[in-house]
Chains A and B, each alone.
Chain A
Amino acid sequence: MSETITEPELHHEPEAGSSRRMTLNMGPQHPSTHGVLRVVLELDGEFIEKATPEIGYLHTGIEKQCEALNWQQVITLTDRVDYLANLSNNLCYSLAVEKLLGLEIPPKAQWLRVLLAELTRINSHLVWLGTHALDMGAMTMFFLTFREREDLLRIFEMFSGQRLMTSYIRPGGLALDPPRGWEKPVKAFLADFPSKIDEYESLLNANPIWLRRTKGIGILPVEEMLEVGITGPLIRAAGIPMDARKMTPYSSYEKFDFKVPTATENDVFARYAVRMAEMRESLKIVQQALDGLPEGPTRADAHRVVLPEREKMKTQMEALIYHFKIVTEGIAVPEGEIYQVVESPRGELGYYVVSDGSAKPLRVHMRTPSFANLQGLPNLVEKRQISDSIAIMGSLDFVLGDCDR
């Protein structure tokens, strides 16, 4: 074995007059940006001197479109903001409208909303974990997480009829009563999933490549994070236990027992660790929601807002009239404005809704976590290598539809 391998020259000294500086477009079509994000990188060799995210490639005008649809129809648009957190968006909008209407939502609907919102969190984290690991070369993770995600999508389909565009949580309750036999797949998932999380961790936690690429990477001072409005697992991985479910509980979250996982390292690995812990906490919440599910209706008793039961609509004159009027004219939401926050998988999701008392919203603004979290990107990747930027972007877990709206 006397052969000597000559290592290729990695670093050429620049010739006189030339430069190692270049501008590189990362995206808008780049696998690691998970959508159409363009980051203009000013490079000095492998090092990023300056990073400028260019957003807006997925701008769909959803906020404006909300003003053209009536209050119930807007639900279909909230599905389409964040394809990994449809039910969180459904929930946030519904809560906002319900607050304006002053509606009391029956406990069964609230519990089911919590259950579905937590399954949504797991679903989103699974996609994040699979793609994040895939970006770093751990391809198996992608297959494993998507295997489990399929179970969740089936549950969503079972409830709402669609895997992604659920439109299931509505102002006033739920679109339909839960389907026959819905507990079975949820229970099966609850029973199965803890071991799957262990499996993921056994693949990653001791993986030297994973550790070398995530530990100590992507640290941003906490003050700066707060300044640009970073929330969710990112801020929790920086040691701040900020969580809307605890700080401004909604949909009876205060009645559930769960912890807000935090870490202090504030690096890519800490964010990974926090999300893994969150999935475990979410399982606990789903278990509680399943065990303690109250009896009763799934829609509020508000005949001017909620469509009457189908049976009544077909036999009672009053119910038929309410059905007809709600469908054709929409619901009249009292004049006012409201800002409603939920903890989406990505952080603080806020809906700012203004009503002028008519059947259509005057304004719907979405404060989306992806948009705020992306603000930290330049400072996170500058002075770091390009390869680190992939890990950092993955750890931010943004959805471009959510960012651009």
Chain B
Amino acid sequence: MALVNVTINGVQVQAENGALLIEVAKQNGIEIPAFCYYEGMSLQAACRMCLVEVEKAPKLMAGCTLPVAEGMVVRTESEPVVKARKTTLEFLLSNHPLDCPVCDKGGECELQDMTFKYGVGESRFTEIKQHVPEKQWSPVVFYDAPRCILCYRCVRVCNEGMGVGALGVSYRGVNAEIIPSNGDHLECDECGSCIDICPVGSLTSGIYRYKTRPWEMEHVGTVCTHCSNGCKTTLGVRNNEIVRGNNRDKSGINGEFLCVKGRYAFDFTQHPERLQTPLIRNAAGELEEASWSRALKLVAEKFKALAGPDFGVIGSTRTTNEENYLLQKFARTALGTASIDHHRTGDVVTLIDSLSGKTGQLATAEDLYTSKAVLVVASDLSQQQPLLANKIRANVRHHKAAVYTVTPGPVREDKIARKAIRIAEADSLAGVEQLREALSKEAELVIIYGDAIQGEKVRQLVAFGESLGIPVKYVALVDYANSRGALDMGLLPDLGPGYHATAPGRSLQQMLDDPKLAALWVVGSNPLKGGKSLASTNAFVVVQDLFLTETAQRADVVLPAASAYEKNGTVTNVCGQVQRLKKGIETVGSKADLAIIGLLARGMGVNLGKVDADAIFAEIAASVPGYNQLPMPVILTGGAVQTHPVNGGVPPSSVPGIIASARDTLFTTGSLTRYSKILNEVLEKPGALYS
């Protein structure tokens, strides 16, 4: 694009021809205030706050819709502009209720900020204000019409950002207000983006409502523990209680995007059924409360006695990389077993094997936003991978990317897809083949595939990608917050950390089915979910979990564990991006899994070195291929860094049925969400398309 010279407030700057004036000003450190203009959303020009004076223009112009041109002379602080802003604010406030003391937005309200910065000191309009009662649209969304300044941000974020389009504007003039899709209530993703994006306190959150104030909270930036997308979420913590989750600082790979789980489903940490003390099965066969020292002593003694090849270890898809690494190291060295596994939800292993010898073919979340074309195979992204779906929607909106879907049923991406193939999951590859011609014309491609593509099919898909003759990147979808990390850290019966072959052991199912199993140690997992049972009736079972799950009910000893919001460490998201967890709240009674493993090792007299998240991450960085040479400053400051796992060259054993996604929806992710009160209240129809 050609550069043009623009003069803003007497300073000559260069800008791309056709760039929006408001953006050009911002890049040069000049603020043009605006309510309705929102980066990444379509233009609205509704608020009139961004009026600027442009030479040779007869009237003030809206800076948010004005493309710059050669020789343009703009003044943003001249007297008419300042006066226009004051007038705009006066009008906005003329029917704004005197709600600041009760309004949740107070203290982080853009209308307050703008008035403080640009407004008049005195009100001229003190007529009686028109009152409209507040409405509740859903368990988590409240709307107060008189506070609304009609900037249309919520309408646009719902329609464009989420692809839901549940909000609109109705009536005219002073009566104009935002209305939900179903007249009086919302049927949508309940993501809460509209609440977050609202510049005033018109849309408020049902759970944060009237609880506290922004300056009263501690804001902890950590990573959401629900799905595998690894969204950065900033927890508002007051009195050791998480009060809200959002990401207004737009940090992390997700920017400000969060789905319903990231924004609301942190309340499981406060669930009354949270385990707070260890449980030991007594002589009567019942679990009874015990002290930590007694429980740890018992487990350490038993582990020492039962260590050997018949010892089974099941790891977690939610615990940190450090915990996973330490667990497998402990199991393989001190417990002398190769039977280590976890709930596998996507075939990453075969993908990495098929790509061995090649570099740069694993896509990041950012690639989905920048790639010219995206192919979605056998996955309902909007339901299961909300951030990835959001990235693709933004890509279509901003870069006109080509999207192709191959799915068994209708998905939301169909609406934006160039071509949507409806085909049974088993035949997905045939569906992909139908797109060969179209795909080979694209400049580049990212292929996203679900768990229907596994084993040999992954190799076929990669071969298909190779044959297109264009740069292709891949994402193997997995389900949970650290599913990818569990694989990377070697919670597998045949592969150690970094996908390097080790002596083979039992897989998860084989452990459950083996009547000879002497002991089973389940860390943060629930393999007995759904009525499954353990074949070995005599096995000594130890479970570390937050709640008394089905598996925990079978256990001989239950050790209460801390959730991801209660510990430090790192997790790896679906695209292999490592991010850092930051402890938001302290636990009551429970301990982090890392600490529990360390204490058990000490009880058994095993030296695992320094058991501390940072020390173990340093060990991972030093010893696990793919995790070495990660730029630590980026990770430490809360950034995301993609890992580049290298296969050890050993083809993974491919057992059918061992990899199975839980097929969660936006409102469920296994055991944690069962204990989220909010999530269960808002539960919408899974798979709703809102078209």
Contacts and interface: CB of A to CB of B under 8 A. Distances in A.
Tell whether any CB of A sits under 8 Å from a CB of B in the complex. yes
Interface of A: 301, 303-304, 308, 312, 314-322, 324-325, 328-329
Interface string B27-52: 00000000000000000000000000
Contacts of A324: 100-101, 106-107, 112
Contacts of A320: 98, 100-101
Given A303-B121, A328-B107, A328-B215, A318 B98 contact: no
A345 B112 CA distance: 43
B106 A315 contact: no
B115 interface: yes
14 contacts: A304-B116, A314-B98, A315-B123, A316-B122, A316-B123, A317-B115, A318-B90, A318-B122, A319-B122, A322-B115, A322-B121, A324-B100, A324-B112, A325-B116
Contacts, number: 57
A321 B122 contact: no
Contacts of B122: 303, 312, 316, 318-319
Contacts of B625: none
Interface in B140-199: none
Given A322-B115, A324-B107, 5 more contacts: A317-B115, A318-B122, A321-B111, A325-B116, A328-B215
The 8 A-B pairs at the shortest CB distance, nearest first, are namely A303-B121, A316-B123, A317-B93, A325-B116, A321-B115, A324-B100, A318-B123, A321-B112
A189 to B, nearest CB: 38
A328 to B, nearest CB: 5
B62 to A, nearest CB: 24
Contacts of A316: 122-123, 126
A320 B103 CA distance: 12
Nearest to A326: B116
Contact of B115 (A301, A308, A318): A318
B98 A322 contact: no
Contacts of A304: 116
Given A314-B98, A328-B107, A328-B215, A321 B126 contact: no
Interface of B: 90, 93-94, 96, 98, 100-101, 106-107, 111-113, 115-116, 119-123, 126, 213, 215
B107 A318 contact: no
Given A324-B100, A328-B107, A328-B215, A317 B116 contact: no
Judged by DSSP, the binding face of B is loop
Given A324-B112, A325-B112, A328-B215, A317 B106 contact: no
Interface centre among A301, A303, A324 (most CB of B within 10 A): A324
Contacts of B126: 315-316
B201 to A, nearest CB: 12
A380 B612 CA distance: 63
A316 B113 CA distance: 16
Judged by DSSP, the binding face of A is helix
A314 B97 CA distance: 11
B98 A317 contact: yes
A321 B147 CA distance: 13
Contacts of B119: 318, 321
Contact of B123 (A301, A319, A329): A319
Interface centre among B93, B111, B215 (most CB of A within 10 A): B93
B96 A317 contact: yes
A181 B674 CA distance: 68
Contacts of B106: 324, 328
B553 to A, nearest CB: 49
Nearest to A316: B123
Contacts of B123: 312, 315-319
A143 to B, nearest CB: 50
A363 B177 CA distance: 49
Contacts of A317: 93-94, 96, 98, 115, 123
A162 B52 CA distance: 51
B498 to A, nearest CB: 47
Given A303-B121, A316-B126, A321 B116 contact: yes
Contact of A321 (B94, B100, B213, B215): B100
B116 to A, nearest CB: 5
Contacts of B215: 328
B100 A318 contact: no
Nearest to A314: B98
A328 B90 CA distance: 22
Contacts of A303: 121-122
A270 to B, nearest CB: 53
Contacts of A315: 98, 123, 126
Nearest to A325: B116
Nearest to B89: A318
B245 to A, nearest CB: 22
A328 B107 CA distance: 7
Contacts of B112: 321, 324-325
A303 B213 CA distance: 24
Contacts of B93: 317-318, 321
A377 B215 CA distance: 48
Contacts of A301: 121
Given A314-B98, A317-B93, A317-B96, A322 B116 contact: yes
Contacts of B98: 314-315, 317, 320
A329 B109 CA distance: 12
Contacts of B90: 318
A319 B93 CA distance: 11
A139 B94 CA distance: 67
A319 B107 CA distance: 15
A387 B94 CA distance: 74
Nearest to B123: A316
Interface centre among B98, B101, B107, B113 (most CB of A within 10 A): B98
A314 B107 CA distance: 18
Contacts of A314: 98
A33 B354 CA distance: 87
Contact of B120 (A318, A325, A329): A318
A317 to B, nearest CB: 4
Contacts of B115: 317-318, 321-322
Contacts of A312: 122-123
Nearest to B95: A317
Contacts of B96: 317
Nearest to A313: B98
Contacts of B107: 324, 328-329
Nearest to A328: B107
A329 B100 CA distance: 14
A33 B98 CA distance: 55
Contacts of B111: 321
Nearest to B214: A328
B148 to A, nearest CB: 14
B516 to A, nearest CB: 65
A160 B525 CA distance: 64
Interface centre among A314, A325, A329 (most CB of B within 10 A): A325
A301 B119 CA distance: 15
A69 to B, nearest CB: 14
A257 B279 CA distance: 85
A319 B94 CA distance: 13
A304 B112 CA distance: 12
A294 B386 CA distance: 67
Nearest to A306: B121
A309 B119 CA distance: 17
Contacts of B116: 304, 321-322, 325
A386 B115 CA distance: 66
